[in-house]
Chain A
Amino acid sequence: MTPLERAEAKFGWKLVAPTILILGLLILYPLMYNVYLSFFDVQLNGYKTFVGFENYMKLLSNTDYYSAIGTTSLYLLGTVVGTTLLGLAMALLLKEPFKGRGLVNAAIMLPYVAPVISVVFGWQFLFDPISGVVNYLFVDVLGVWSERTNLIGNPDSALWVVVLFDIWKHAPIAYLLILSKLVSISGDQYEAAAIDGYGPVGRFFHVTLPELYFVLATVVLLRLIWNLNRFEDVYLLAPNVQTLPIFTYYQAFTGVIDQGLAAATSVIQLAVLSVFIWFYIKKIMKW
């Protein structure tokens, strides 16, 4: 480094120091405190007893924990694949300008901007076993099912309702991200591919997909991070679906309250997520 560069770097550190300090207080301190708590048996009155790795041992021998991991995996798979594919499909369909595209765009964005709590009640009403339209449609009109079922009441089917809800609510952001890249792909690449003998399908795989690679990878990454930590959508719509955040919440704040155990859960989750994101960014996004 030249002296000038060194001075610049020093100045740069001075400029970002306040931000680092605030972020440190707001994020790093709770994070470290969480790691610290995970090694203690925490009483509600604040008394803490050091227990070493006991919380972790307890967690890893709990079958409910593994079932929560299984549920989370299914939830992630369903939501990430679903939102990405639906977003891609919508973006491809709505790429070319047409009359009224603004309105259609607004309609597509609506679920994303609507407050969770209001749309959750709407969805619960849709799936209501007695007066809900879903049961009416599938039982009375189409006759696919023989009897009315409480899809949200049963944890197995509730998982898929939650997945569906997430796809419906978050496909718009995938659509938006993909569309913004899609419209910037230069037309002459498609023309060159057409001249080279490739039809619409070939052009999609050889021009569109490679161009979308990074934006698709970004969508997948964002969806994974968001949904691994997603609490409110799942808990509000179907509290019986125990994904990891819900599981942690039940550990920490309901029944036999065990904050040490809950802390251990989130530490493991953070560690897994960090390793996963590091790998993903290095290998898939090639940063």
Chain B
Amino acid sequence: MAAITLKNIIKSYDKTQVVKGIDLAIEDGEFVVLVGPSGCGKSTTLRMIAGLEQPTSGDIIIGDRVVNDIEPQDRNIAMVFQNYALYPHKSVKENIVFALRRLKVDNEEIERRLSEISEMLQLEELLDRKPADLSGGQRQRVAMGRAIIREADVFLFDEPLSNLDSKLRSHMRTEIGKIHNKFGRTSVYVTHDQVEAMTLADKVVVLHDGYIAQSGTPMEIYLNPTNIFVAQFIGSPSMNIIEGTLFNDYLDIDGYHLPREQLSNVVYQASIPDSGLKVKVGIRPDFFNDKAFFSETEAAFNFTNLTIDLIEPMGFDKEILFNLAGGSVKARLDLRSEIKRGGEIDLLVDLSRVLIFDYQTEQRL
């Protein structure tokens, strides 16, 4: 068991900086998800923790050792690779116990751990097969088994589910969650899938362009994103960004006046000119409600007479698109709403969920 600390990690290839200074503290037993679009440096960061890449500068500390100059084989880590990286010439069993053979664990102990793990991952029937004879999901489970059996200090996951179909992916996501609960090892998990980030993480670290855009618990990131990038990256469908103008008493969106004192998430202190301050307003599609089913409370604002441009039924939900302040805005309503394209609707928004961002820097105000 070990905590991990990254101190001002920078990684460059030739002249291109991929990771531009990351500071991160991962507590012992914590499940941290690094999430971001491709090219944000998340995989490189993980590979540096594993020792497969050398940081250009900065320190990586696992437990109480600075591991910068320690080879991967001496770091006591386990890793699940995106394409599993199973040994094609070894049987499933030998793939799983390969690390234990190196550690000279005695045979009885190897068999004990193997049977425990193969039962947990339902691999009993497959132990004598070669990786080439397995399906994608089975290979993924073998790769998991190989990582778990080590009882290593740190688990690293490099987009482990991205090669699976969506049903299997959500199943394995649950399994990974269960495994973490059972073993409680420090885990670092890289993904571009915000659902995996939200569901698995104790702490989500959103990376953008080589920097940490924000880190925090999944709900902090979801409810209180510090900039538009994070706001739109986390949550599906992604947050609506609408142009508006902030005045001393109210927030103007396309002629709707949202009372300032009830915007509890807007804590802008600086003085505002009389002509108003141009801002970007963030409202998640989930925070719109059909007025027909919700009574207007004090903290709710009523957007009246919105024209529905498009309806996307999803089963339990339906997503509707309407026009607001010159942009297309999405709302997620439940199946009770009886609406049709071109019709009009009144939507309520919980004012405490409305966020505003600086028009230029796109940082939270």
Contacts and interface: CB of A to CB of B under 8 A. Distances in A.
Q: Are A and B bound to each other?
A: yes
A96 interface: no
Contacts of A5: none
B196 to A, nearest CB: 21
Interface stretch (A15-23, A82-90, A191-199, A264-272): A191-199
Which of A192, A206, A213 has the most chain B CB within a 10 Å cutoff?
A192
Contact of A195 (B72, B83, B87, B88): B72
Interface in A171-186: 186
B140 to A, nearest CB: 14
Given A188-B81, A206-B98, A195 B89 contact: no
A211 interface: yes
B89 A210 contact: yes
Given A194-B51, A194-B72, A196-B146, A186 B99 contact: no
A189 interface: yes
Contact of B99 (A188, A197, A199): A197
B81 A191 contact: yes
A200 to B, nearest CB: 9
A202 interface: yes
B102 A198 contact: yes
A271 to B, nearest CB: 34
A195 B103 contact: no
A198 B87 contact: no
A108 interface: no
A69 interface: no
Which of A193, A196, A199 has the most chain B CB within a 10 Å cutoff?
A196
B50 A192 contact: no
B85 A188 contact: yes
B186 to A, nearest CB: 15
B328 to A, nearest CB: 42
A119 interface: no
A198 B73 contact: yes
A207 interface: yes
Contacts of B150: 196
A194 B79 CA distance: 10
Interface residues of B, number: 24
B263 interface: no
A196 B98 CA distance: 7
Contact of B79 (A189, A195, A198, A206): A195
Contacts of B85: 186, 188-189, 191-192
Interface string B60-94: 00000000000111100111010101111110000
Which of A189, A195, A199, A211 has the most chain B CB within a 10 Å cutoff?
A195
B164 interface: no
B52 interface: yes
A192 B81 contact: yes
A195 B102 contact: no
A211 B81 contact: no
B90 to A, nearest CB: 8
Interface in A200-225: 202, 206-207, 210-211, 213
A195 B98 contact: no
Contacts of B98: 193, 196, 206
Contacts of A194: 51-52, 71-73
Given A192-B81, A193-B87, A210-B87, 7 more contacts: A191-B81, A192-B146, A195-B50, A196-B99, A196-B102, A197-B74, A206-B87
Interface of B: 50-52, 71-74, 77-79, 81, 83, 85-90, 98-99, 102-103, 146, 150
Interface of A: 186, 188-189, 191-199, 202, 206-207, 210-211, 213
21 contacts: A186-B85, A188-B85, A191-B50, A192-B81, A193-B87, A194-B52, A195-B72, A195-B73, A195-B99, A196-B73, A196-B99, A196-B102, A196-B146, A198-B102, A199-B71, A206-B87, A206-B98, A210-B87, A210-B89, A210-B90, A211-B89
